[in-house]
Amino acid sequence: MNFDLDQDERALQAAIRDLCRGVFPMETVRGLESSSGISSETWGALEDAGVFSLRLPESDGGAGLGMTAAVIVFEQLGRALVPGPLVGTHLARTLGIPGERVTFAHRDDLVISNLDSSDAVAVIDAEGVWVISQNGIAGVPVAQPLDPLTPVSRVSSLPQGERVVEGADVSAIRLEASALTAALLVGIATAETDLAVAYAKERRQFGRPIGSFQAVKHICADMLTRAEVARAAVYAAGVHLDGHGDGDTARAVTGAMLLASEAAFANGKACVQVHGGMGFTWEIDAHLYLKRAAALIALHGGADTYAEEMAAAL
Amino acid sequence: MDLRYSESDERFRAEVRAWLSDALPKLPPKPGPHDWDARRAYDTTWQRMLFDAGYAGINWPSEYGGRGASPTEHLIFLEETERAGAPYVGVNFVGLLHAGPTLIAEATEEQKTAHLPKILRGEEVWCQGFSEPGAGSDLASLKTRAVLDGDHYVVNGQKIWTSFAHVADFGELLVRTDPDAPKHKGITWLILPMDTPGIEVRPLRTITGSSEFSEVFFTDVRIPIENRVGQENDGWRVAMVTFSFERGTAFVGELVRSMKLVEELAELARKLPRGSGSAWDDGGVRRELGLIAAQLDGLWHLTKRTITESERTGVPGIGGSIFKLYYSEVRHHLGDLAMKILGTAALATEDEPAVDHVRGWIHAMSISIAAGTTQIQRNILSERVLGMPKEPS
């Protein structure tokens, strides 16, 4: 048993972190609002770094890595608030679905994120994963999406599409999607903690930093705690999906998604609160993390779904 | 990262399981909660069985009679013993988890030889005399005074929250030896023989209804100078060695027990009638229990991260405080939910099927207080991990 990043995993984590710092500083991320979260330059940087192909065999241009590596990478993407159909494109590449960008959707939802910037939509339902070309879907973009960097379209119905995955493999894909989303969320939960702590150390009231007040620092300690426990769960989910776990894989992934959802959502609200009035302004980044968290959670079925699944395992 | 156990770890697990299935039926029946002599006898009998089987002091170094198990083996041992429903350290938790490890780290060879083998064999029970009525979270402000008189310290003062004091042979005692020094610099750590004249133990009844804790009063209690562990006025540092043990794997048994309770509560909820169905038909109840299960699983994963870290660096790192804070919250939630599900089935604290859940609910209130309150843990994490400024004192 070794439940800490090994040397290769550390190197991968550092490389993606550096990439995010270089390519996705917050000014750049905010600037992407005008282009639905995508620019060819930023997307190309993700592509070149192997974010989408990392689980393909080396003979197919991938890195031959597994889900453990993928969650490490996606955690850093979440932390940098990288927009776009990240989970969908990663899964599509792994499944051999063509397209520079592919967004994943659940058939019953009739809601698709990142539709206009994607080449194809991969729709999951009980019978399979189905691919529909983007121009085969008549979506109506919602005005002012909750997360300004996650455009959302509503559809009245979805064409059946072409089946690329069926049977038992559907639940495996669903678990991979959950683990990757949970990794994004735990990255967000960490970024929210960092942002709140930095502000609390800097902001002064009553003649001292507000971070010296227990009423404020205790909020931050809870943020750290939620993020750390969720991170342990998310890494465990990745390890289980690679067949290196010590328990039930579905339970590990479901638990990770639930904890990461709770952590990102609660930390996002706490981050706004620690910023006081400034936290309620558009200028401060706190709301962007919170809204991304809310969007990711909603687009993946909502935390209650995962709580029910956990209960069903008891 | 890899969560699979090595072959040798799996062999160790199989060996522990086999031993437990053979040993547990040989234990006498568990005594009642208020029969203190019988509880001491029961717990020390179990300790002797562990000793004879080579499991005593599982994580203690082998040169001091321990097994010298790795942190992973320690985790496996705690998991298996708890799952099998074996007794834990019982009345000698201080000897086995606090005082013993402190002696290993700080005591002279004579002190180690005098106490460590007896603790491991179940022949010596220890209690802890740290907290005082005026020194709880602010432990370093303790006032129990020790004055050197020839080759003895003369101790006067009062301790509180001393677990199992009335069945203990020795105590680890923190005393003030220099009242003029800054509060952390004037404390000394002493080995207290509980049969010394001048000690009065008054049991303290807690909200559990039991009297595991006592107040201990000291009137001119003479303790030989050779009972000092570490240097005079260096007792705070010595005591902190103890705390690093307290915040490592100390809650693994607790965690495994709570995971079992969640399963049992789900089973109970399916049986408890509500209207035409059961308590389990309430989606709110199910989802709360599902969340708690995920949170306990998360703590299990966190424990493995902490253990990996301590295997690499030799110290548990920040995982201990995070665990303590998060677990306390989850344990409260589990207890509160149990009370909601049980309804009137919760109105007894002995002899009824739901009693473990009711006792657990009460027990939760001590978890968020003992060994550093939830508020102190938040201070530790925000100041030492997040680097936030201290509140001016």
The residues near A231 (Cβ < 8 Å, ≥ 6 apart) are A75, A186, A190
Check if A194 contacts B (Cβ < 8 Å): no
Asked if B380 and B320 count as a contact pair (C-beta separation under 8 A), the reply is no
Mean pLDDT, to the nearest integer, of A85-92?
Answer: 98
In which band, very low, low, confident or very high, does the pLDDT at A121 lie, cut at 50, 70 and 90?
Answer: very high
Residue of B nearest to A261 (CA): B291
Distance CA(B158)–CA(B170), nearest Å, equals 16
Looking at domain B126-232, its CATH class is mainly beta
My answer on whether A243 and A127 are in the same domain is: no
* Residue B71 confidence (pLDDT): 87
According to the model, what pLDDT value does residue A167 have?
Answer: 82
- Could you tell me if A79 and A212 lie in one domain? no
Residues 6+ apart with CB under 8 A from A82: A20, A24, A29, A42, A46
Residue A175 Cα, gap to closest chain B Cα (Å): 16
How many CB atoms sit inside 10 A of residue B211's CB?
A: 17
- Which domain-ending residue is among A58, A91, A124? A91
Q: What is the pLDDT of residue A64?
A: 96
* pLDDT over threshold 50, residue B333: yes
* Cα separation, A59 vs A185, whole angstroms: 31
Residue bearing tokens 């253990």: B307
Give the CA-trace dihedral at A274, A280, A283, A287, to 10 degrees: 80
Annotated domain spans of chain B: 7-88, 126-232, 247-385
Least CB–CB distance from A229: residue in B72, B326, B377? B326
Residues A247 and A281 in one domain: yes
* Same domain as A303, residue A246: yes
What pLDDT score does B244 carry? 60
A134 and A151 in a single domain? The answer is: yes
pTM: 0.96
- The CATH architecture one would assign to domain B247-385 is Up-down Bundle (1.20)
DSSP string, B219-239: EEEEEEGGGEESSTTBHHHHH
Cβ-defined contact of A228 to B4 (cutoff 8 Å)? no
- Residue pLDDT, tens place only, A171-225: 999 999 999 999 999 999 999 999 999 999 999 999 999 999 999 999 999 999 9
Q: What pLDDT shows up at residue B135? A: 95
The CA distance from A108 to A122, in Å, is 13
Say what the pLDDT of residue A247 is: 95
Q: A45, A63, A91 — which closes off a domain?
A: A91
The answer to whether B145 and B111 are in contact (CB under 8 A) is no
CATH code of A72's domain: 1.10.540.10
Asked if the structure places residue A2 within a domain, the reply is no
Cβ contact A197:B385 at 8 Å: no
Q: Quick one: A277 and A193 in the same domain? A: yes
For residue B332, how many C-alpha atoms fall within 13 Å in the half-sphere facing its CB?
11
The average confidence (pLDDT) of chain A is 96
For all residues of chain B together, what is the average pLDDT? Answer: 93
Q: Which among B351, B353, B200 has a CA at the least distance from the CA of B272?
A: B353
Q: Is the pLDDT of residue B248 over 60?
A: no
Domain harbouring A191, CATH code: 1.20.140.10
Instruction: Give the confidence band of A299 by pLDDT, cuts at 50, 70, 90.
Output: very high
Look at residue A50 and tell me if it is in a domain: yes
Q: Is-contact A244 B4, C-beta < 8 A?
A: yes
pLDDT at residue number B348: 82
Find the mean pLDDT for residues A64-92.
98
CB atoms within 10 A of CB B237: 15
Q: How confident is the model at residue B247 (pLDDT cuts 50, 70, 90)?
A: very low
SS (H, E, C) B284-345: HHHHHHHHHHHHHHHHHHHHHHHHHHHHHHCCCCCHHHHHHHHHHHHHHHHHHHHHHHHHHH
> Under DSSP, is residue B176 helix (H, G, I), strand (E, B) or coil?
strand
When pLDDT is cut at 50, 70 and 90, the band that residue B246 belongs to is very low
Question: In chain A, positions 270-309, which contact chain B (CB-CB < 8 Å)?
Answer: 304, 306-309
Structure tokens at B114: 């005098």
Rounded Cα gap, residues B392 and B37, in angstroms = 48
B86/A225 Cα distance (integer angstroms): 31
- Of A57-71, B39-53, B84-98, B113-127, minimum mean pLDDT range: B84-98
Residue ending a domain, among A91, A120, A152, is A91
Q: CA B141, B147, B148, B151 torsion: positive or negative?
A: negative
Q: How far apart, in whole angstroms, are the C-alpha atoms of residue A299 and residue A174?
A: 13
> Same structural domain for residues A107 and A61?
no
Confidence band for B103, pLDDT divided at 50, 70 and 90: very high
A1 in a structural domain? no
Nearest chain A residue to B311, by CA: A2
Query: Are residues A141 and A184 part of one domain?
Result: no
Same domain, A178 and A212: yes
Q: Is residue A96 part of a domain?
A: no
What pLDDT digit, counting tens, does each position of B334-389 carry?
Answer: 999 999 999 998 998 777 778 999 999 999 999 999 988 999 999 999 999 999 99
Given B123, B232, B246, B309, which residue is catalytic?
Answer: B246
Q: Write out the two tokens for B242.
A: 């103890």
* Structural domain range at position A68: 7-91
CA distance linking residue A226 with residue A264, whole number of Å: 9
Contacts of A182 in chain B (CB under 8 A): none
What's the number of CA atoms in the CB half-sphere (13 Å) around residue A163?
Answer: 9
Q: Which one of A9, A185, A229, A258 would you mutate to disrupt binding with B, by most B Cβ within 10 Å of its Cβ?
A: A229
For range A248-274, the mean pLDDT: 98
> Would you say residue A299 lies in a domain?
yes
User: Is position B246 annotated as part of the catalytic site?
Assistant: yes
Tell me how far apart the alpha carbons of residues B71 and B80 are, in angstroms, rounded to a whole number.
Answer: 14
Higher pLDDT pick, A227 / B320? A227
CB atoms near residue A87 (< 10 Å): 26
Cα B287 to Cα A296, A303, B291, B354, B367, distances in angstroms:
20, 9, 6, 21, 24
How far is Cα A142 from Cα B144, in angstroms, rounded to an integer?
69
Higher pLDDT, B314 or A267: A267
**At residue B315, does pLDDT exceed 80?**
no
C-alpha radius of gyration, chain B, whole number = 22
Please count the structural domains in chain A.
Answer: 3
Question: HSE (CB half, 13 Å, CA atoms) of B388?
Answer: 34
| Closest-CA distance of chain A to residue B303, Å | 9
Please, are residues A183 and A78 in contact by the beta-carbon 8 Å criterion?
yes
Residues of B in contact with A6 (CB under 8 A): 1
Phi-psi region of A53 (alpha: psi -120 to 50; beta: other; left: phi over 0): alpha
Residue B358 contacts residue B266 (beta carbons within 8 Å) = no
